Structure 1
Amino acid sequence: MSFEQCEVVLLETSDLHGFILPRSYATRKEVQHGLACIASRIKAERQQHPHTLLLDNGDCLQGTPLTYYHARVNSGLPNPVIACLNELGYDAAVPGNHEFNYGLPYLRSAVEASSFPWLSANIEDASTGQPAFGAPYLIRELDNGVRIGILGLTTSYIPVWEQPQHIAGLRFADPVEAARKWIPVMRAEERADVIVVSYHGGFERDLETGQPTEPLTGENAGYALCEEVEGIDVLLTGHQHRAIADCSINGVCVVQPANEGRFLGKVTLQMEKHPEGWRITDRRSELVSAEEAEPDPSIEELIHEIEALTQEWLDQPSGYVDGNMTVHSHFEARVREHPLMEFINRVQMDASGASISCAALFDNVSPGFGERITMREIVSNYIYPNTLKVLRVTGNDIRAALEKSAEYFEVNAEGDLAVSPSYLAPKPQHYNYDMWEGIDYTLDISQPIGQRVTRLERNGEPLIAEAQYDVVMNNYRASGGGDFAMFQDKPVVRDISTDMVELLADYIRGRGRLTVSVNHNWSVVNGAAES
């Protein structure tokens, strides 16, 4: 007996972070990725495959000066990211954790401007228990009768990171439990032939061995979804910025397309029609690279106006530097105090009134400041829309935080200081290593983890374990983000609602000219090599 057959293609973007045009905002140099390049790949795939669905898996609204400019400077213009997704005819989107960074009103305005539904079965209205962004799932019936069910899920760890006012009235349920609730409904009541879960989250275990790769906090639950929930055919993932394809976990086809439009995730399903409905006979995932793809002219034209205004805003001068605040080696800037990090900490202390501060060099791209500082340099160095909080913590908490930061380093096989592999894979986490001002300390990486703080003083005296100190830090760290549990639920002495980009710009403008300084209040050493 021969059966009718067809092919269904699922296309996924994830973690675009507002990166549309293939150019660096920091350097203006051309790059080989971005949504405009991915758009060309999307159109080519649609020409080849008539039965195609296109989904965004979250973290699209935040991440570049373009999105910052729209959210904070000129929100009267159409949202550039949503305009692009509308133009490309997305079938659905899932909110990621960074969708909440600019507050609920901004997110809701983006949802309202979308010509497609936003799906998240596990983000609920706290008062009603109903999905907070409309439907938990979407059923798309193709012209041949194949019914595709798409369930949206979002990492439930958002309350640990996000400012409370940005998620007020929302409840973030366990995505695994939400999948167990809704998938039987999609199968039985909606008669879905295929169940696709689009989950803004990643994997908490090694994809091959199943061994834990991170503390099982619930931030990532992709492996659990595959192993513990029946009925999932395809799992679209993100959040970790990994490039994952040609992968199956417990029979579930898995894909993750990295970040900033580097790849388009693609899942191909071979279908066969039986008397009881369509069945999947084969499934495979792959990544379609953005490299060598010409940017789509319609996307470039669509955001031309707001892009030009953003570039003009970025070139506005804020001040000047006497000395050198350029970052030549990001590793060295984390081993020996760099004037950029002392400056950021000094701004935090000035804005908050706190006399102790901690801050991170977020990535390995931050250029530092040249002689002339514009908004371009500011947003290139401070890439997140963080605000500040002053927490009241103990000396023991400070020591524990320093020990946590010290885990960033290891002594490698050659006996040299290096970044611990756990901070490089599956996702770079340079933002989880803090440098402090207002205290004096030494981290000896030759010592066992948990015993690396070999000097901890304030004003020439040892820090008192039970004494209380006011420390300023960004809102992500203040919530315990990065597994800094010692900061969770600590008293908030002061909450500064102005985000750090504005604080940095105001500080620089107010002084006009900065003088480079480094007080060398901390050091990272390899005691075994120095002894």
Structure 2
Amino acid sequence: MKNRERSCELVILQTSDIHGNLMPISYGNNQEVEYGLAKLALPLKEEMKQADNSFLIDNGDLIQGTPLTYHHARHQPNEQNPMVKILNYLKYDAAVIGNHEFNYGQDLLEKAVSESNFPWLSANILESGTNQPAFGRPFMIKEFDNGLRVALLGLTTHYIPNWENPNHIKGLEFPDAYSTAKEWVKYLQQNEQFDLLIVSYHGGIECEPETGEPAETLTGENQGYRICTEIEGIDVLLTGHQHRKLVCELNGVTVVQPGFNAQSFGKIQVSFEFSYGKWQVKDKSAAIIEVNEAKAEQAILELAKSYEIQSQKWLDQPIGTIVGDMSVRSAFDIRMEDNPLIEFINKVQMDAAGADISATALFHNESPGFPAEVTMRDIVSNYIYPNTLKVIRITGADLKAALEKSALYFDVKDGELIVNPSFEKPKPQHYNYDMWEGIQYTLDISRPAGERVTELNYKDEPVKSDASYDVVMNNYRAGGGGNYPMFKGKPVLREIQRDMTEILADYFKKHGIIHATCNHNWRVIH
């Protein structure tokens, strides 16, 4: 131990759910925003500069989420991944694989891992039929100059098969994250020497930290609370996936979740004293550091410049014209009754898939809709996920159950219709409210949950519970994603293995002029 130190401090810095937000701009209008890794960089570097010992970790969902990362994946796949390039520059120590890392397929993920100057960790993503991690390794130990040894175990929500395109996870297994954590914590305790144990888990906290009451349906998607309260020996749990900003202590474990889109990062300070021949934890504290009005780091802007120029050229490609109105003035109103934008997206899905019933969503409340002159920028501003399409065969009972699930999006307060708080907290889930074309239906929110579908017709005839219906929807929903179990395991009649952004763009290019129409086949009342 150098200089006979009797005390030291470690600063753990965590980013999570950056989702491709490298540049500090909104691609919908190119206006500057107060987030993005280029802006997060200087505060991060300042924290590392001030720290005697630092450990910089990304907690997953890094390489997908913006037009820049989409354009790279589809049009520049042979170039170094732009997100990895910046993490290399910032000298990250490790990264954990998130669920969205698979959105562009394993080839792109494997290439990103191979280009990294840091290890990617995930103890519970395995090659099928083996116990071998498919990417990187389960854990790492970082030893500092003063002999301090810090173990880091990486975990990923095992719920990925419920969402992801099966072709993107072929040959992989996703064992339970909690069970894997328990197994590896025991292994580390018995076989490795370390002074602090960090678990970096791309998953969230499923229960309220203060009360232990479930904060969501306990599907196993998020297990952070259980990991903290049922596994002894963990000092720090880094979480993500839910896009929350959270700092708390659970069973002596310091827990942090630092938000999303590179708006902020987590900082955990751990002080140690050297006694009985090893470093002992004396104190821990945690905080979330906001970007606020930080300047973008020029070096990062330069490193990203070529990617950005090509992305902007692609985004500005004109692809079609709309006659009429497909704009979004109120996301809430769009979800209240049939409208030209949602009807158009559903019709494109039906055209691509050869189906006459379709479901889609307005994925986020910042969707601007389509202007009169449409470019690729407008496509990716509205359809923000790299979804493909599936046609599945369901029963009338399944269809009604799905509509009842969507009807839970609304609630009534003081006689007024509002968004059910469970769709906004702990994580916004507006993308889990579907709107349908090819059927006629009414949702009456004044009625009890489960009894809100008061009209449901197909071709002007009531939908029959035991009859079969072929419907098109995105691959996420077709696999039951968003807690739609009625779709899980249903017969898949067709798969359209092209991103919806490409399908929409091709539809515009083929037809040139699109007329905004609305047949008012559905409505929400209360």
TM-score where L is the length of structure 1:
0.97
Partner of 1:529: none
Deviations for 1:303-324, whole angstroms, at most 9, x for unmatched residues? 1011011001000000011011
Deviations for 1:326-376, whole angstroms, at most 9, x for unmatched residues? 100000000021211000000000000000000000000110000100000
- Give the drift of 1:104: 0.6
Among candidates 236, 240, 243, match of residue 241 of structure 1: 243
Preserved CA contact (<8 Å) 1:3 1:274:
no
Tell me how far apart the structure 2 counterparts of residues 278 and 184 of structure 1 sit (CA, whole Å).
20
Partner of 2:104: 102
SS across alignment from 2:32: coil
- Give the drift of 1:34: 0.7
Tell me if 1:23 matches 2:38.
no
Tell me how far apart the structure 2 counterparts of residues 332 and 198 of structure 1 sit (CA, whole Å).
39
Residue type matched to 1:280 in 2? V
Residue correspondence of structure 1 range 425-444 to structure 2 within 5 A: 425-444=425-444
Residue correspondence of structure 1 range 291-440 to structure 2 within 5 A: 291-412=292-413, 414-440=414-440
Higher mean displacement: 272-281 or 498-507 = 272-281
Partner of 1:193: 195
Partner of 2:282: 281
Tell me how far apart the structure 1 counterparts of residues 52 and 375 of structure 2 sit (CA, whole Å).
47
SS across alignment from 2:19: coil
Partner of 1:490: 490
SS across alignment from 1:300: helix
Partner of 1:464: 464
TM-score where L is the length of structure 2:
0.98
Tell me how far apart the structure 1 counterparts of residues 153 and 46 of structure 2 sit (CA, whole Å).
26
Tell me how far apart the structure 1 counterparts of residues 136 and 101 of structure 2 sit (CA, whole Å).
16
Tell me how far apart the structure 2 counterparts of residues 340 and 74 of structure 1 sit (CA, whole Å).
31
SS across alignment from 2:256: strand
- Give the drift of 1:188: 3.2
Number of aligned residue pairs: 523
Tell me how far apart the structure 2 counterparts of residues 50 and 71 of structure 1 sit (CA, whole Å).
38
Tell me how far apart the structure 2 counterparts of residues 403 and 73 of structure 1 sit (CA, whole Å).
40
Partner of 2:217: 215
Tell me how far apart the structure 2 counterparts of residues 104 and 119 of structure 1 sit (CA, whole Å).
15
Preserved CA contact (<8 Å) 1:40 1:294:
yes
Preserved CA contact (<8 Å) 1:187 1:193:
no
SS across alignment from 2:69: helix
Higher mean displacement: 363-372 or 186-195 = 186-195
Flag the 1:298–1:3 CA change in 2: closer, same or farther, 3 A: closer
Preserved CA contact (<8 Å) 1:202 1:237:
yes
Tell me if 1:525 matches 2:525.
yes
SS across alignment from 1:335: coil
Tell me how far apart the structure 2 counterparts of residues 455 and 56 of structure 1 sit (CA, whole Å).
48
Tell me how far apart the structure 2 counterparts of residues 251 and 390 of structure 1 sit (CA, whole Å).
48
- Give the drift of 1:3: 7.7
Tell me how far apart the structure 2 counterparts of residues 66 and 50 of structure 1 sit (CA, whole Å).
35
Tell me how far apart the structure 2 counterparts of residues 485 and 175 of structure 1 sit (CA, whole Å).
21
Partner of 1:500: 500
Partner of 1:134: 136
Preserved CA contact (<8 Å) 2:5 2:146:
no
Preserved CA contact (<8 Å) 2:80 2:112:
no
Tell me how far apart the structure 2 counterparts of residues 115 and 221 of structure 1 sit (CA, whole Å).
30
Residue correspondence of structure 1 range 246-265 to structure 2 within 5 A: 247-265=248-266
Partner of 1:477: 477
Deviations for 1:206-248, whole angstroms, at most 9, x for unmatched residues? 1110001111111000000101111100000000000112x10
Preserved CA contact (<8 Å) 1:41 1:264:
no
**Structure 1, unaligned runs of 5 or more:** 527-531
SS across alignment from 2:392: strand
Preserved CA contact (<8 Å) 2:318 2:374:
yes
Residue type matched to 1:494 in 2? R
SS across alignment from 1:179: helix
Tell me how far apart the structure 2 counterparts of residues 231 and 135 of structure 1 sit (CA, whole Å).
20
Partner of 2:447: 447
Tell me how far apart the structure 1 counterparts of residues 245 and 79 of structure 2 sit (CA, whole Å).
33
Tell me how far apart the structure 1 counterparts of residues 187 and 194 of structure 2 sit (CA, whole Å).
9
Deviations for 1:256-275, whole angstroms, at most 9, x for unmatched residues? 11000010111000111112
Tell me if 1:7 matches 2:27.
no
Residue correspondence of structure 1 range 155-170 to structure 2 within 5 A: 155-170=157-172
Tell me how far apart the structure 2 counterparts of residues 53 and 167 of structure 1 sit (CA, whole Å).
30
Preserved CA contact (<8 Å) 1:255 1:285:
yes
Tell me how far apart the structure 2 counterparts of residues 460 and 178 of structure 1 sit (CA, whole Å).
52
Tell me how far apart the structure 1 counterparts of residues 325 and 79 of structure 2 sit (CA, whole Å).
38
Deviations for 1:174-195, whole angstroms, at most 9, x for unmatched residues? 1111111112332332211100
Residue type matched to 2:35 in 1? H
Partner of 2:46: 44
Deviations for 1:267-313, whole angstroms, at most 9, x for unmatched residues? 00011111241111111110111111111111111010110110010
Preserved CA contact (<8 Å) 1:125 1:132:
yes
Tell me how far apart the structure 2 counterparts of residues 253 and 493 of structure 1 sit (CA, whole Å).
48
Partner of 1:178: 180
Tell me how far apart the structure 1 counterparts of residues 503 and 23 of structure 2 sit (CA, whole Å).
28
- Give the drift of 1:132: 1.2
Tell me how far apart the structure 2 counterparts of residues 175 and 487 of structure 1 sit (CA, whole Å).
24
Preserved CA contact (<8 Å) 1:77 1:306:
no
Deviations for 1:490-518, whole angstroms, at most 9, x for unmatched residues? 00010110110000000011000110001
Tell me how far apart the structure 1 counterparts of residues 291 and 5 of structure 2 sit (CA, whole Å).
36
Residue type matched to 2:451 in 1? Q
- Give the drift of 1:46: 1.2
Preserved CA contact (<8 Å) 1:18 1:62:
yes
Tell me how far apart the structure 2 counterparts of residues 186 and 21 of structure 1 sit (CA, whole Å).
39
Residue type matched to 1:326 in 2? S
Tell me if 1:268 matches 2:269.
yes
Residue type matched to 2:171 in 1? G
Tell me how far apart the structure 1 counterparts of residues 189 and 92 of structure 2 sit (CA, whole Å).
23
Q: Percent identity?
A: 55
Residue type matched to 1:495 in 2? E
Provide runs of 4+ in structure 1 moved above 4 Å: none
